[in-house]
Amino acid sequence: MSPRAKQLPKKPATPRKRKTKPAAGSVGLEASEVTGGAPTAAAVQLRAQIEAAGGTEIAAYREPFGGFWVALAALPLAKVKPTPYQRELSKAHAERLATVIPKVGRFLDPVIAVPDDDGGFITPNGMHRLSALGSLGAKTIIALVMPEPEIAFRILALNTEKAHNLKDKALEVIRMARAIAADPKKTGTSEADVAFELEQASLITLGVCYETNARFSGGAYNSVVARTEAFSTEPMAESLELREAHAQRLLELDVAVTAAVGRLKAAGWNSGYLKPIVVARINPLRFVKAGKDDARPDFDKTIDRMIEGAKKFDPSKVKAADMAIASAVGGGEE
């Protein structure tokens, strides 16, 4: 036989499964069906709740995509409040809305709302509109009201009022997680059970960090945390203890990274991307390509290595090209 081994024929690549695209016009209700049919018991009860709060149901209809009943209602502004786990109010955004609304002379953007336990309503996506209308002395707000309380927890998917940054997302997620853990009706609910609402497991840990330090540089660490965190199947109250422990490790890492940044500055470097440069250099997962079925890297071991790397970080090994690359790529969403 020739020294060169006889090559076996290559195994054909497994074809990727393509997502089946629905045919145009094949999903949901026809326009003529939206107001048809008898309202469900929950929709009838919702109308009573709206009227008991001093509001008026303008119309009831079935949302055309999923067929769920929705009430278009006029609600007393005083009876509507934001969900307690939303991001912080942006005063500038609320003031800008309050300036524009009078110029237009009308407000045509209903908020989404669900009933609360106090005879009023909460909105997962209307904090800034409520604030703006309140500052203008408005009496009433128009809302799309749904009977399903779980809608209030789907903030990240529903909120189109103002784009979220990483800090906003993380704080909303940790507030949702704490609200679920404290709710007797949700005893036993795990992170995995509400994965859609929480969006990413890493946001829970980063949220704890932002609670502790509002100026925490979450964007610098998000990729590492996202690689090492997965949604827990334990009850939320138990998994939060682990998230809080992980957050403390991240804050410890941030102290070491900040010290390394200080050494870079002392060596004459001056850039807004010093922290991402340090984190990239000490990240043991930087060049590790994750396979679909690979186990997640251990969080504690990863952070231990990064803390050790930050303490040993040598500014003399940083080159001008590193700064140029960091500036081009950016430092991560904050």
User: Which helix (H) or strand (E) is 73 found in, with range?
Assistant: strand 69-76
Q: Are 248 and 288 members of one domain?
A: yes
Tokens representing 295 are: 């186990």
Indicate whether 303 belongs to any domain.
yes
Please say whether the dihedral angle defined by the alpha carbons of residues 116, 120, 123 and 127, taken in this order, is positive or negative: negative
Do 180 and 127 fall within a single domain? no
pLDDT attached to residue 22: 83
Residue 3 lies in a domain: no
Measured CA to CA, the distance from residue 205 to residue 238 in angstroms comes to 14
Percent of the chain with pLDDT strictly greater than 90: 59
pLDDT in tens, 69-121: 999 999 999 999 998 777 778 888 889 899 989 988 999 899 999 999 899 99
Contacts 24+ apart (CB under 8 A), 237-240: 237/181, 239/190, 239/191, 239/204, 240/177, 240/178, 240/181, 240/204
Tell me the angle at which helices 274-282 and 320-329 cross, rounded to the nearest 10 degrees. Answer: 100
Residues 152 and 174 in one domain: no
- Is 204 a member of any domain? yes
Tens-digit pLDDT profile for residues 7-42: 555 556 566 667 778 888 888 999 999 998 999 999
> Is residue 5 very low, low, confident or very high in pLDDT (cuts 50, 70, 90)?
very low
Residue 165 CA to its chain's centroid (Å) = 9
DSSP 271: -
Specify the CATH number for the domain of residue 135.
Answer: 3.90.1530.10
> Which residues constitute the domain of residue 142?
39-159
Look up the pTM and report it: 0.63
The amino acid at residue 5 is A
Same domain, 151 and 265: no
